[in-house]
Structure 1
Amino acid sequence: MGKSSERRPIAARGSGWARASSAALARSRVTPNQISVLSIFFAAVGAAMLAWVPSTAGLLLCAACVQLRLLCNLLDGMVAMEGGKQTPTGALYNEFPDRIADSLLIVSLGYAAGLPWLGWLGALLAALTAYVRVSGGSLGLAQDFRGPMAKQHRMAVITLACLLAVAERHSTGTAWVLPAAAWIIAIGSLLTCVTRTRAIAAQLRGNT
């Protein structure tokens, strides 16, 4: 991850465990870019568990992998910025692995829900939220990380859906949670595109 004055606000960044972990990684031979790529690995494992292992274990492992993916997203920036390991290609590694990881998990959610088209739509809309954010930055504005369905919100929905699907399976035996989560991510991502676009337009009008 490269040097940037615009970072996604993450409350955990100031916690003691996060600082200690990033400091340890900064002292090691591990690079921020390697941590970013590792997030794709965890997302791929989680996606495989969700789409191809329709069991309680698969759902729980997916939830764990989503959190490990987010941990990588937290630590890569901290190692780069606070650890002084910025690289010229860091900005690319900060964005591209996120788009891949998002797509893997959201598409797999669609397949697990029995609605593949909705998974692909959700992944497309999730990528579009990032495109809108980066477009604002290319126009000289501060990048807008607002929701209602930013990356951390999408991952929270998938994590919660996996846990609730386990409870649903062992209580009612129904299968409503995963389809509901896929719809929430798709609709929420669309709304996020709208809110970010409106905010960019308002700032541009205010600058004229």
Structure 2
Amino acid sequence: MPSIYQLKPRFQALLRPLVTRMYRRGISANQVTLAAGIVSVILGAVLALFSLQLWLFALVPLWMLLRMALNAIDGMLAREFGQQSRLGAYLNELCDVIADSALFLPFALLPGVSPSLVVIVVLLALVSEYAGVLGPMVSATRRYDGPMGKSDRALVFGVLGAGVASGLLPLAWIDIVLLLIAALSILTTVNRIKQGLAEGGVDTASPPSKQGRTDA
């Protein structure tokens, strides 16, 4: 399934000179990851506290774009400059889902928007990311299959934020978009499971194994 994630190599090529300068200044991948997560939580808190100030939602697309750049930068610092670590792997996954939740949940406070739908979308996003993380447990890679991966969600919520702030998007329409996101998130989870099983050579009819577990 197509996903914005497929554009990542081109995005990284544009960022490579900046990444090199950051490395020379002693900035680490983990520092970038934590910074992106912390700013996302702060922005989410501001939006939640002042949700009736619709113009503040213009910060969502601006931050989403910058956050996508930071997500690419921390990965490049880790891979290309020998900064990969177990702690970094935990931070990368946890900060992403925490940041997404913090940025999406304030939309539940908008007038006319169903809070339940926003929460469902957040939960489905968590499930789809967990399905991707489980890839290595079946001898596959971490799965980023679409059509509603984290980059795709960032784009959609960025557009929603711009629409809310500008007044061009009727708030009543947001529920329709949320339903679409939810449906595509379910499809994403199914795709990641199917592709992970196919890549790992796992028989879908076989009982679950403990392959890949470290707590045995």
Q: Aligned residue for 2:66?
A: 68
Unaligned runs of 5+ in 2: 207-216
Q: Aligned residue for 1:124?
A: 123
Contact preservation (8 Å) 1:132, 1:193: yes
Identity %: 26
Whose relative contact order is higher, 1 or 2, with alpha carbons under 8 Å and at least 6 apart? Answer: 2
Q: Deviation digits for residues 12-31 of structure 1, max 9, x if unmatched?
A: 0122xx01111111112322
Q: Aligned residue for 2:143?
A: 144
Q: AA paired with 1:119?
A: V
Instruction: Give the structure-2-normalised TM-score.
Output: 0.79
Contact preservation (8 Å) 2:33, 2:71: yes
Q: AA paired with 2:29?
A: P
Unaligned runs of 5+ in 1: 1-7
Q: Deviation digits for residues 34-89 of structure 1, max 9, x if unmatched?
A: 11011112322442454434335312112212222222211111111122323341
Q: Aligned residue for 2:202?
A: 204
Shift of 1:161: 1.2
- 1:166-185 residue pairs with structure 2 within 5 A? 166-167=165-166, 169=167, 174-185=170-181
Residue 189 (str. 1) matches residue 188 (str. 2): no
CA distance in 2, matches of 1:70, 1:76: 10
Quote the RMSD (CA, aligned, Å).
2.3
The worse-fitting range, judged by mean Cα deviation, of 123-132 and 86-95 is: 86-95
CA distance in 1, matches of 2:173, 2:145: 25
Contact preservation (8 Å) 1:46, 1:66: no
Instruction: Give the structure-1-normalised TM-score.
Output: 0.82
Q: Deviation digits for residues 109-154 of structure 1, max 9, x if unmatched?
A: 2333632222221111111111111212111112221111000000
Contact preservation (8 Å) 1:162, 1:178: no
CA distance in 1, matches of 2:178, 2:45: 16
Contact preservation (8 Å) 2:32, 2:74: yes
CA distance in 2, matches of 1:96, 1:30: 20
